[in-house]
């Protein structure tokens, strides 16, 4: 189990300046934040810190300014939305040598730094940049699990120069993930979707010994169909993954994990045309597989009904299009149903997965949903995240 330093008693940081590393990397449309989930998630934490008379310095990145330029990537719209959500005035600050004095002398309780990645030294894990950031506060708290797979200055190096702790959202996330691993009740089912098998191979191999069912869906399943000699028409697939697929079968057999593939699919000639439910052996050469079929969702539903724990990563169809969202929506509803009815421990994660669950309006009916993408996957692959490693109890 990952033992992280955390603040058990908020009186310990009473009257302190707190550098709060958050993930406010949120979608912005027309100069406004279009999804406030990540901000709202911190409401209780902010209340606790304010009740302890802390000054809070929000620090986050937004997008990739070093690659795509700074236009449209200021955190000012996030600051404006956070003021509404927290019902508090927030002072917005550029990051420079004068920032510390402005925080020290400021009468405000909440501050927000401009996009950390506007300075290239953030992503190079620069020590001087980390020292500068640490000088703004007395205590560092990491509330950004989703960024903790990055060896960046505000995630890793800063902890060398300031008392540092894992925040409550990170503690909650780690506990939820460990329920799937060290403390999982069996049978355990894992649903892996998405498009690329090459990006999920480490995940599948690491999870196989812990799972009773490995259920593959999405465009990833096309590779298995093609490898087995079935036509996949014009569907998305990856080249040169035969050895990868064979390795998955070997590992499944080794650990007696049942590998489940869709037995029927929804096909169409074009994305903007309704689909037709077909058995795998009925897919024609001009078909595009865009969702799993009714028989497949029914079979998976039965597995979920009999399971005690489920882990889900990756949609099972092109859910952005309503005609091809049924499979993913049905799975989301099944997991939510058995979580409430049978006490199923349900953990889901990944950006697309969260979006898919939210589209089906089941986000409040899972045991835990992670909004993290890369960090969530790396944790499941068995890798220790740099941002958590520096917060371990020694």
Q: Which domains does the chain have, with CATH numbers?
A: 10-171 (3.40.50.1260), 184-380 (3.40.50.1260)
Query: How high is the pLDDT of residue 129?
Result: 98
List b or e across 86-106, with b for residues whose CB sees 16 or more CB atoms inside 10 angstroms.
beeebebbebeeebbeebeee
Query: How high is the pLDDT of residue 12?
Result: 84
- Return per-residue pLDDT of the chain as tens, 394 residues: 578 999 877 778 999 999 999 999 999 999 999 999 999 999 999 999 999 999 999 999 999 998 888 888 999 999 999 999 999 999 999 999 999 999 999 999 999 999 999 999 999 999 999 999 999 999 999 999 999 999 999 999 999 999 999 999 999 989 888 877 766 788 999 999 988 888 888 889 999 999 999 999 999 999 999 999 999 999 999 999 999 999 999 999 999 999 999 999 999 999 999 999 999 999 999 999 999 999 999 999 999 999 999 999 999 999 999 999 999 999 999 999 999 999 999 999 886 898 899 999 999 999 999 888 888 888 888 888 999 999 998 6
Residues 6+ apart with CB under 8 A from 30: none
Residues 6+ apart with CB under 8 A from 58: 20, 22, 24, 82, 90, 110, 111, 112, 113
**Residue 104 and residue 106: Cα distance in Å, rounded?**
6
Residue 93's beta-bridge partner residues?
Answer: 113
**Residue 269 and residue 179: Cα distance in Å, rounded?**
42
Write the burial class of residue 107 (CB in 10 Å: 0-12 exposed, 13-18 middle, 19+ buried): exposed
Q: Which residue has the tokens 């120069």?
A: 161
**Residue 46 and residue 72: Cα distance in Å, rounded?**
27
Q: At what angle do helices 326-341 and 351-359 cross, to 10 degrees?
A: 80
Q: Which residue has the tokens 């009916």?
A: 365
Residue 50, number of CB atoms within 10 A of its CB: 15
Rg (CA), the chain: 23
Contact predicate 204/257, CB 8 Å: no
**Residue 279 and residue 295: Cα distance in Å, rounded?**
9
Query: How high is the pLDDT of residue 136?
Result: 99
Query: How high is the pLDDT of residue 1?
Result: 52
């Amino acid at each position: 189990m990952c033992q992280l330093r955390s603040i058990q008693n908020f009186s310990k940081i009473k009257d302190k300046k707190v550098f709060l590393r958050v993930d406010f990397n949120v979608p912005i449309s027309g100069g406004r934040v279009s999804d406030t989930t990540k901000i709202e998630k911190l409401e209780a934490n902010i209340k606790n810190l304010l009740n302890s008379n802390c000054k809070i310095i929000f620090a986050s990145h937004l997008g990739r300014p070093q690659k795509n330029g700074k236009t449209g990537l200021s955190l000012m719209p996030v600051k404006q939305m956070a003021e509404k959500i927290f019902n508090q005035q927030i002072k917005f600050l550029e990051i420079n040598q004068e920032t510390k004095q402005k925080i020290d002398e400021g009468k405000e309780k909440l501050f927000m730094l401009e996009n950390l990645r506007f300075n290239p030294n953030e992503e190079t894990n620069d020590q001087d940049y980390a020292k500068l950031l640490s000088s703004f506060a007395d205590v560092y708290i990491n509330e950004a699990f989703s960024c903790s797979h990055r060896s960046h200055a505000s995630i890793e190096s800063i902890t060398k120069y300031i008392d540092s702790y894992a925040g409550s959202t990170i503690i909650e996330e780690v506990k939820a993930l460990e329920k799937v691993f060290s403390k999982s009740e069996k049978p355990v089912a894992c649903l892996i979707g998405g498009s690329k098998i090459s990006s999920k191979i480490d995940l599948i191999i690491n999870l196989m010994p812990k799972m009773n069912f490995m259920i593959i869906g999405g465009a990833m399943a096309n590779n298995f169909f093609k490898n087995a000699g079935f036509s996949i028409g014009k569907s998305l697939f990856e080249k040169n993954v035969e050895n990868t697929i064979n390795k998955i079968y070997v590992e499944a057999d080794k650990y007696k994990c049942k590998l489940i593939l869709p037995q029927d699919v929804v096909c169409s000639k074009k994305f903007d045309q309704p689909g037709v439910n077909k058995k795998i052996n009925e897919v024609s050469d001009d078909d595009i597989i865009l969702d799993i079929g009714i028989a497949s969702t029914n079979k998976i539903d039965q597995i979920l009904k009999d399971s005690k724990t489920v882990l889900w990563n990756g949609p099972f169809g092109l859910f952005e299009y309503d005609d091809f969202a049924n499979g993913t929506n049905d799975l989301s509803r099944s997991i939510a149903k058995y979580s409430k009815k049978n006490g199923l421990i349900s953990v889901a994660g990944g950006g697309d997965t969260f979006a898919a669950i939210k589209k089906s309006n089941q986000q409040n009916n899972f045991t835990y949903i992670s909004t993290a993408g890369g960090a969530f996957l790396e944790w499941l692959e068995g890798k220790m995240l740099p941002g958590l490693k520096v917060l371990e109890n020694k």
